[in-house]
Amino acid sequence: MDQALRHALEAELEAIRADPLGAVGFGEKAYLPYSTTTGQGLISAPDPEVTSMLGDAIDDAVDPTVALALLHIIGQRSDDRVDDILLQALDAPPLSPTAAYLLGRVGYRGYPDRERDEAAVIGALRHHLDDGAEFTDPFLQKTFRRQDFVIGALVRLLGAERFTGIDDRQAPMIGLALPDFADAQRAHLLRQLARPD
């Protein structure tokens, strides 16, 4: 990597570490609830070494808010290796809802397509369907159930048309908008997701 680019990207990383809450804001559309406000070089630089740099920074982050901000940055990269980092983050409870969300919305408005093993991604997400613990999103100051992000990602990846209990208005937004499942709808979707394909 060019030294000038490395210094610029390291400066972006430092800016995110210094103010993680300022790095991610509320998006302007329901289907785009998050908007990154810094780190554009980290998103757009094509060098695969940038993905590794971000992965290391996520692993090294002491503050989970920093790690979450960096996940939002890496989720917008087109490098195929991004999914490996998101799948690793899926196994870290403070990061898993955001990782699930980013795995589910790939290829839609600002989140590029990536070559991936779709079956492996779906299998990994299924392992987290039982995680009903709360997740307080530090950027939006809202509390969700972790599994709701997993449900949204799985329904989106598998195709909303395969599921009952989702109305026509909700179907195109599931996995893109913030999850908002009523208890009965959540239970109904979980029963469907528990069935073998």
Is residue 81 within 8 A of residue 54, CB to CB? The reply is: no
For the cut 70, the answer to whether the pLDDT of residue 197 exceeds it is no
For the cut 80, the answer to whether the pLDDT of residue 1 exceeds it is no
Burial class (CB in 10 A: 0-12, 13-18, 19+), 35: middle
Domain spans of the chain, in order of start? 3-194
Burial class (CB in 10 A: 0-12, 13-18, 19+), 94: middle
The DSSP string of 166-197 is --TTTGGGTTTSPP---HHHHHHHHHHHHS--
| Mean pLDDT, the chain, whole residue set | 95
Nearest to 105 by CA among 26, 51, 34: 34
Region 123-140: mean pLDDT is: 96
pLDDT, tens digit, 9 for 90 and up, residues 59-89: 999 999 999 999 999 999 999 999 999 999 9
pLDDT, tens digit, 9 for 90 and up, residues 27-40: 888 899 999 999 99
